[in-house]
Amino acid sequence: MIATLSRSTPVLVQGISGRMGRTHAAGMRAYGTNIVAGTSARGDLGDVDGVPVFHDCAAAVAATGATASIAMVPPGDVRAAVLEAVAAGIRLVVTIAEGVPVHDALAVGRAVRAAGATWVGPSTPGLAVPGEMKLGFLPDAALRPGPVAIMSKSGTLSYEIGWRLAQSGLGQSLWVGVGGDPVKGVRFADLLAPFLADARTAAIVLVGEVGGDEEEQFAAALAQVGAAKPVFAVIAGSEAKEGVAMGHAGALTFGATGTVRSKRAALEAAGVRVFATMAALVADCGDQRRRW
């Protein structure tokens, strides 16, 4: 569903009456997101800045036809929020909370897959179709419509990449923060098919990091289908010390898997152009764009 998002997609904000819900709902609406409803488990119904508030997702979907939601709830409430949204017929759920228990993430992943829905999270800055809409708190200054699709584990690194691309005249077609959790919904490999099929996308940028095997899985998927569009990547963490805990829960290495070297080797073998710095990646994107 990610590739079909647009300014007309009806969006539900779970937890809209809380401080974070109100703040980010206002920012998303200002960008153009079509927020049609909110929910509040606290019972403070009515409306938030003109958006009708319902007690649960089922009532909100029945009244407004919402098909996507973003849950502005604490980590301990993410499991219940996603399950409620999916049961109500929501096809895409985004969650932003840090520290969601792994067992909850496992349960959510199973339920979402069984329902044929899509979950971006548990922890992510969100996703965007620049110039159309965004779900989350991606900075507007880094969003500019264009031909480059971004997938990233790191929020702040993707903001920098997006801003640098925009400053160089290269905007984005799609932008998805998959987050750095060890157990998550959408992963890099899951985005390959929709990014390759998207007519607006001429090139793909992957912002990875040390730990986990997500980049290696993406490389394996890309090698199977072939690089129909140019793929550029930067892997953060080349100076990370072995055995030192990283900020992201998924930043774990296992022997020769999950290292910057193993990721780079796998990606390059699949035809990806891998760079040591963001500046080098953006510069090469600019040089290569005439071939797209």
- Are residues 166 and 103 part of one domain? no
Q: Is residue 133 part of a domain?
A: no
Residue 206 pLDDT greater than 70, yes or no: yes
> Does 127 fall in a domain?
no
Lowest mean pLDDT among 39-43, 108-112, 135-139, 196-200: 39-43
Is the residue at 126 inside a domain?
no
Read off the pLDDT of residues 255-286 as tens digits, 9 standing for 90 and up: 556 789 999 999 999 999 999 999 999 999 99
Residue 108 lies in a domain: yes
Average pLDDT (99-122) is 97
Q: What is the pLDDT of the chain when averaged over all its residues? A: 93
Quote the pLDDT of residue 292.
Answer: 85
Residue 257 sits in which domain range?
A: 139-291
Which residues make Cβ contacts (< 8 Å) with residue 25, sequence separation at least 6? Answer: 13, 16, 35, 38, 48, 49, 51, 72
At 20-77, the pLDDT tens digits run: 999 999 999 999 999 999 999 877 678 999 999 999 999 999 999 999 999 999 999 9
Question: Could you report the per-residue pLDDT of 144-192, keeping only the tens digit for each?
Answer: 999 999 999 999 999 999 999 999 999 999 999 999 999 999 999 999 9
Give residue 143's pLDDT.
97
Q: Among 77, 92, 120, which residue terminates a domain?
A: 120
Q: Based on the fold, state whether residues 32 and 87 are members of the same structural domain.
A: yes
Give burial (CB, 10 Å; 0-12/13-18/19+) of 188.
buried
Amino acid of residue 74: P
For residue 250 the two structure tokens come to: 């998924």
| Segment holding 129, helix H or strand E | strand 126-129
Let me know whether 11 and 100 are in one domain: yes
Percent with pLDDT over 70 in the chain = 92
- Do 100 and 173 share a structural domain? no
- State in Å, rounded, how far the first CA of the chain is from the last one: 25
How many domains does the structure of the chain reveal? 2
Would you tell me how many other CB atoms lie within 10 Å of the CB of residue 290? Answer: 6
CATH number at residue 173: 3.40.50.261
Helices (H) and strands (E) in the chain, counts: 9, 14
The pLDDT, as a whole number, for residue 283 is 97
Are 247 and 168 in the same domain? yes
Signed CA dihedral, 87, 88, 91, 97: sign only: negative
Q: Is pLDDT of 251 > 70?
A: no
State how far the Cα of 19 lies from the Cα of 247, in Å rounded to an integer. Answer: 25
Q: What is the mean pLDDT of residues 204-224?
A: 96
Q: Are residues 162 and 284 in the same domain?
A: yes
Q: Is residue 95 part of a domain?
A: yes
Half-sphere exposure of 230 (CA within 13 A, CB side): 17
According to DSSP, the residues that pair with 145 across neighbouring strands are 172
Is the pLDDT at 119 greater than 70? The verdict is yes
| Pair (158, 286) in one structural domain | yes
* 284 and 189 within one domain: yes
Among 85, 120, 155, the domain-final residue is 120
Identify the active-site residue in 24, 55, 103, 248.
248
Q: What CATH number did the domain enclosing 13 receive?
A: 3.40.50.720
Instruction: State which amino acid sits at residue 196.
Output: L
Residue 134 within a domain? no
54 and 160 in a single domain? The answer is no
Residue closest to 259 by CA, chosen among 275, 281, 274, 240 = 240
Domain co-membership, 156 together with 235: yes
Domain-embedded: residue 183:
yes
Regarding whether 152 and 285 lie in a shared domain, the answer is: yes
List, in sequence order, the alpha helices (H) in 226-259: none
Domain stops at, among 72, 88, 120: 120
How far apart are alpha carbons 112 and 129 in whole angstroms?
22
Indicate if 248 belongs to the active site: yes
Domain presence at residue 178: yes
Is residue 106 located within the same domain as residue 182? Answer: no
